[in-house]
Amino acid sequence: MATARPGWSRRAQYGLFFSFLAVLAGILVGLILLTLSLVAPARFAAVRGAALDATAPITSALYEVTSTAKGMVTGAGDYWDAAHQNAKLKRERQVMQQRMIEARAILLENRELRAALQLRERARDAVATGRIVGSSFTSPRRFAILSAGRSDGVRVGMPVRSAEGLVGRVIDAGQLASRVLLVSDRSNIVPARLLRGGIPVISQGRGDGTVDVRPLEVGRNPFKRGDIIITSGTGGLYPPLIPIARVIRLDDDGAIALPLADPARTSFAIVEPPYEPAAEAEGPTP
Amino acid sequence: MVRAALASKRRIGKGPSRFAAIIPAATVVLASLLTALPIVSTSGWYPDFGFLAFIGWRLLRSDPWPAWWAAPLGLINDLFTGGPIGLSVALWSAAMLALDLIDRRTQWRDYWIEWAVAAVFLTLDEWLQWRVAKYAGADVPWLAMGPPLVISICVFPLVAWIVSRIDVKRLGR
């Protein structure tokens, strides 16, 4: 369809016209699909899961190669300056042991208080463990690929965390892999609170690897640099007391914080069942 | 010596590759598949490789693939990149149509014009992604889309060069 009129041949003219119609049909189908995926995202769950499974083996295999290479480099770096590091670690261990004894005492006290209050502990078992093996490259959305899927019990809407903190929640689940909406995605709003003082705040991603934190009550800016934000458990999707982010910069009515669980360095991520079983993840998905 | 100078560098029996018809589309699919690499990007500043390859091929040739292939190629890109399904289907089909209209109007082409045309289409792509993300609940400020847009415009000449090398190999020249 490069020229306006391909000569006198009727056949060529019809061919050109039909290819024009085919492209128009392509645009129409694309717009219909786009509307459907915005209005009813669940409709494409199966096909999205299948696409995840198709690339999961490649991604996982390549991940092994790169992590081995990275491990060799950092492993060699650790031998450098070993004596100095050893002394530093010993000092840190001393401090940690004191802290641990304090923590044990607090734990004991906590248990007694709970028993007194007759609080029922909700047992939380991990559904699955996987690795963050990839992510969305472009687009304003922030997704990560987790190497655990439906066959491991992962379902859409489950919260994902790592040892360092909250990672996000599952939005697509294939048999072998799943897609996680990171806390740094703009549409991921996490009810949270300040570790220092327990002031309720809201954490919302900024799409560039950081999160915005805002206090629920308008007024004084309660944040300080270095503050830790933890989940509050409100809403029932994310379990309470998971660290989310550390404040790095203040602005007029809130602060910008850096997620503690950096998906690029997180080795293992744990998928947990929704905190309140009734709370299914509703809300925006791609 | 005269003979050697006159002789063509082309070897006899060297023609287009057996898969010449599908190589362009295959490279676009491969470019879409780059998202399967185990790279975790927290900022999302990587370019849209599938669309870059698509535009690169279409600007090099007017018929790298039948026009209607744009829709299935776009669907593959949407599925692998995890974007909203249908975005690339509509955008890539529309790009085929728009580039045909541009081909009809332009009197002459050079590198700068091709780069400018590509920049316009890449901006359109980023803008559409931003717009759709807004409808899906991720209301990112438009300025945040600046760095990935600049990066993808700067990467385009490299992609165009790779595509032209593949084209030379494909046609056995």
Q: Nearest by CB to B133, from A29, A139, A144: name it.
A: A139
Concatenated DSSP letters for A163-204? Answer: SSSEEEEEEEE-SS-EEEEETTSTT-EEEEEETTT--EEEEE
The CB-side HSE value for A50 (13 A sphere, CA atoms) comes to 5
CB–CB of B70 and A23 under 8 A?
yes
3-state secondary structure of B110: coil
- Vertex A237 angle, CA A235 and A241, to 5°: 85
Q: Give the three-state DSSP class for A245.
A: strand
Nearest-Cα distance to chain A for B172, in Å, is 24
Full-prediction pTM beyond 0.90? no
Is B163 inside any structural domain? yes
Q: Percent of chain B, pLDDT > 90? A: 35
Show the domain range for B151: 17-37+44-171
- Determine, for residues A144 and B40 on separate chains, whether the beta-carbon distance falls below 8 Å: yes
B104 φ, ψ to 5°?
A: -70, -30
Is A35 within 8 Å of chain B by CB? yes
Q: Which amino acid is at A51?
A: A
Q: Which residues of A touch B47 (CB under 8 A)?
A: 137-138
Q: What are phi and psi of A141, to 5 degrees?
A: -90, 150
Number of folded domains in chain B?
1
Instruction: Report the pLDDT averaged over residues B27-45.
Output: 83
The answer as to whether B12 is a domain residue is no
Are the Cβ atoms of A185 and B34 closer than 8 angstroms?
no
Domains and CATH numbers, chain A: 130-271 (2.40.10.340)
Mean pLDDT estimate for chain A: 81
Does residue B109 surpass a pLDDT of 60? yes
Q: What is the pLDDT of residue A3?
A: 52
Residue B10 resides in a domain = no
* CB within 8 Å: A207 and B67: no
**pLDDT tens, per residue, chain A with 286 residues:** 445 566 788 888 888 888 889 889 999 999 998 888 888 777 777 888 888 888 887 777 787 777 777 667 666 766 777 888 888 899 999 999 888 888 988 888 888 787 777 655 555 678 888 888 888 777 788 888 888 888 888 888 889 988 888 899 998 888 888 888 999 888 888 999 888 888 889 998 888 888 999 888 877 788 888 888 888 888 878 888 888 998 988 888 888 998 888 887 776 888 988 877 665 545 444 4
Q: What are phi and psi of A119, to 5 degrees?
A: -75, 135
User: A100 to each of A104, A111, A114, A162, A240, how far by Cα in Å?
Assistant: 6, 16, 20, 21, 22
CB A247 within 8 A of CB A213: yes
CA distance B67 to B74: 12
Report DSSP state, residue A277: T
Contact criterion met (CB < 8 Å) for A55 and B67: no
Beta-carbon-side half-sphere exposure of residue A274 (alpha carbons within 13 Å): 17
A38 and B145 within 8 Å at the Cβ level: the answer is no
Residues in chain A closer than 8 A to B83 (CB atoms): 136, 139, 141, 286
Q: Which chain A residues are closer than 8 Å to B36 by Cβ?
A: 55, 58-59, 62, 134
pLDDT in tens, B87-101: 899 999 999 999 888
Decide: A53 and A175 in contact? Cβ < 8 Å: yes
Q: Under an 8 A CB cutoff, do B87 and A209 touch? A: no
Whether B29 maps to a domain, the answer reads yes
